[in-house]
């Protein structure tokens, strides 16, 4: 089955109770927005944020950006009202923090199934606890409605009592485990946020690391992170040109009955062709989104 590529290079959290932020998001070149009612919203503003983000999704004023809503966790008093409000607004997805098991996904799905207008709303599950690391495959394979896994690296580091350090050595085992679960289940996976918005070099390094590990994109906390993130998670012009040559050489070689096919002196096989085709599909999807 051919993948349908939806670019999710840059996925920006925007505080749901902040009118200025909600307005600013209309102009930013991010692929997707997470309208947040959780961490960025004080308890006495939860109901206000809930209404504001639902109105934002319904407004039709965000162009082709993919719009999602992060609700509060299943262990809070707000989650059911959040979910019913979000589902009724029919966003692309609801983002659910601290998913610890397939049962958690099932609880969210059961509520979404009862909401008029939410039939096409997906679930994005945040993996940010030791339980989620241990059950990553279970979670990733729990539902067809679950389409995206989102790393919650800040909370994961807290739960592990690990340091948030350059290179993320204490978290790499968990990040890799979750990437593997996503690929096993055929899901998209987004890297966690980078906290130091005044360190563009550190951010660029972490984007490069995430792309190398296999993440499809990265969640962001500041508008200045959007454009460098888009660049990091997109094929370069050189990569696109190389992919085109790989496919052309492969097609010509197969047609000529060649046993060995090379590009730039290196032998290419089916896996290289598959990678090349995916790179071109991603580049085409990005070009279409930005057209």
Residue 2 pLDDT more than 90? no
For 170, other C-beta atoms within 10 Å of its C-beta total 15
Residues 9/41/50/138 CA torsion (nearest 10 deg): 50
How confident is the model at residue 83, as a pLDDT?
98
The residue whose two tokens read 């207008």 is 117
Q: Between vectors from CA 40 to CA 35 and to CA 41, what angle results, nearest 5°?
A: 90
Rounded to the nearest integer, the mean pLDDT of the chain is: 96
pLDDT in tens, 124-180: 999 999 999 999 999 999 999 999 999 999 999 999 999 999 999 999 999 999 999
Mean pLDDT of 76-88: 97
Cα–Cα distance, 28 to 217 (Å, whole number)? 16
Mean pLDDT of 174-203: 98
Q: Note the helical H segments in the chain.
A: 19-24, 46-59, 79-89, 102-112, 130-134, 136-140, 153-160, 172-185, 200-213, 226-232, 237-256, 270-290
pTM: 0.94
For 188, the token pair is 């998209």
């Amino acid at each position: 089955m051919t993948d349908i590529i939806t670019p999710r290079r840059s996925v920006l959290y925007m505080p749901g109770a902040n009118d200025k932020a909600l307005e600013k998001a209309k102009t930013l070149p991010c692929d997707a927005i997470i309208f947040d009612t959780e961490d960025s919203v004080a308890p006495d503003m939860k109901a206000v944020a809930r209404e504001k983000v639902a109105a934002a999704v319904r407004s039709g004023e965000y162009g082709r950006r993919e719009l999602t809503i992060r609700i509060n966790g299943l262990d809070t008093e707000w989650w059911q009202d959040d979910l019913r409000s979000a589902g009724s607004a029919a966003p692309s997805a609801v983002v659910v923090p601290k998913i610890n098991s397939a049962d958690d996904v099932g609880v969210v799905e059961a509520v979404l199934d009862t909401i008029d207008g939410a039939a096409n709303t997906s679930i994005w599950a945040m993996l940010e606890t030791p339980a989620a690391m241990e059950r990553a495959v279970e979670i990733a394979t729990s539902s067809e409605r679950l389409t995206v896994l989102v790393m919650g690296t800040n909370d994961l580091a807290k739960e592990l009592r690990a340091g948030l350090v350059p290179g993320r050595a204490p978290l790499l085992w968990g990040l890799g485990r979750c990437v593997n679960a996503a690929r096993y289940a055929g899901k998209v996976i987004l890297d966690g946020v980078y906290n130091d918005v005044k360190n563009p070099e550190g951010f660029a390094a972490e984007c490069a690391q995430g792309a190398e590990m296999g993440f499809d994109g990265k969640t962001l906390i500041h508008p200045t992170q959007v454009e460098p993130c888009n660049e990091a998670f997109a094929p370069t012009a050189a990569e696109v040109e190389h992919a085109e040559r790989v496919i052309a050489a492969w097609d010509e070689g197969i047609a000529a009955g060649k046993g060995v096919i090379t590009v730039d002196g290196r032998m290419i096989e089916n896996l290289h062709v598959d990678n090349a085709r995916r790179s071109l599909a991603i580049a085409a999807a990005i070009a279409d989104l930005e057209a």
